[in-house]
Amino acid sequence: MQAEIISIGTELLLGQIVDTNAAHIAAALAEHGIPLYWKTTVGDNAGRIEEALRRGLERSEILLCTGGLGPTVDDITRDCVARVLEQPLEFHPELYRHIEERFRKFKRGLVPENNRRQACIPANALPLHNPCGTAPGLIAEAKNRCIICMPGVPAEMKTMLSESVLPYLKERFNIQQVILHRTLLVRTLGESRVDALITDLFENSENPTIGLLATPGCVQIRMTACAHDRNAALDLIAPLEQKIRERIAPYENGLEIK
């Protein structure tokens, strides 16, 4: 099982906003033991969105899409998913009633006609409730794969992810594992020197894996393990951490944990 994030929105490619959604989703997936292998950013262009969806379905069981679920003409994620899955869009009265309720709650007057589009999702897709906005999400199954679409507004996405998407994924894919990171901070050596000291550990360790990251003031050595629970993951990391500490000890006495 592997997951992929598809962030949709031309504003992301123009650098007008930072994609904090992808970082939040990535951290949540790791916490719940779901491996994330790819992340794609695509603008509001139907052909390129559909290309990203098709490519994602070829290599990933789980596609998590954000953005493009609003009421405007360039919010086309629903339409693209429907075409890729060869399913028509269907109007859901209960979704439209939720939109009407949001407008009444915030005294916005009558619902504009273009908001009606938000109540349309691909046939056979599962709608996802959005308690924070008008744009419902959706889950569309495609054989043994699924496309999950969430709003691009961070507060709406985060709520939908935690309340609907993650519980669905854990049940749908029977997820019984966690992915745990433990990071050592090296302050007296540069990245290339640290790399030279532990290169063989990189090559000979698959679970846990090792990663290096140079940051201001230190080099981070990240150890990542996948196991059935947190304690089991820590047990996998422990012998590797001991070897790393032994290699670094002649140059730095006692490594901090991030």
Residue whose structure tokens are 């007057």: 109
Look up residue 219 and give its two tokens: 């080099």
Residues 134 and 165 in one domain: yes
Phi-psi region for residue 31, left (φ > 0), alpha (ψ -120 to 50) or beta? alpha
Taking 90 as the threshold, does the pLDDT of residue 203 lie above it? no
CA 146 to CA 158: how far, in whole Å?
19
CA 174 to CA 16: how far, in whole Å?
38
- How far is it between the farthest Cα atoms of the chain? 71
Residues 150 and 27 in one domain: yes
Please report, for the domain that includes residue 221, its CATH number: 3.30.70.2860
Query: Of 140, 172, 204, which residue constitutes the final position of a domain?
Result: 172
Residues 115 and 198 in one domain: no
Per-residue pLDDT tens digits for 144-175: 999 999 999 999 999 999 999 999 999 999 98
Residues 208 and 139 in one domain: no
Least confident of 89-98, 102-111, 120-129, 200-209: 102-111
Q: Whole domain around residue 228: which residue ranges? A: 178-257
Tell me what the mean pLDDT of segment 39-68 comes to: 98
Planar angle of CA 121, 122, 127, nearest 5 degrees: 50
Taking 90 as the threshold, does the pLDDT of residue 111 lie above it? no
Residues 138 and 46 in one domain: yes
* Number of independent structural domains in the chain: 2
Residues 145 and 234 in one domain: no
- pLDDT number for residue 249: 93
* 154 Cβ neighbours under 8 A, 6+ residues apart: 20, 21, 24
Residues 203 and 249 in one domain: yes
* DSSP 3-state of 69: coil
CA 57 to CA 72: how far, in whole Å?
26
Per-residue pLDDT tens digits for 220-252: 999 999 999 999 999 999 999 999 999 999 998
Backbone CA torsion sign across 162, 225, 171, 122: positive
Residues 116 and 149 in one domain: yes
Taking 80 as the threshold, does the pLDDT of residue 107 lie above it? no
Please report, for the domain that includes residue 113, its CATH number: 3.40.980.10
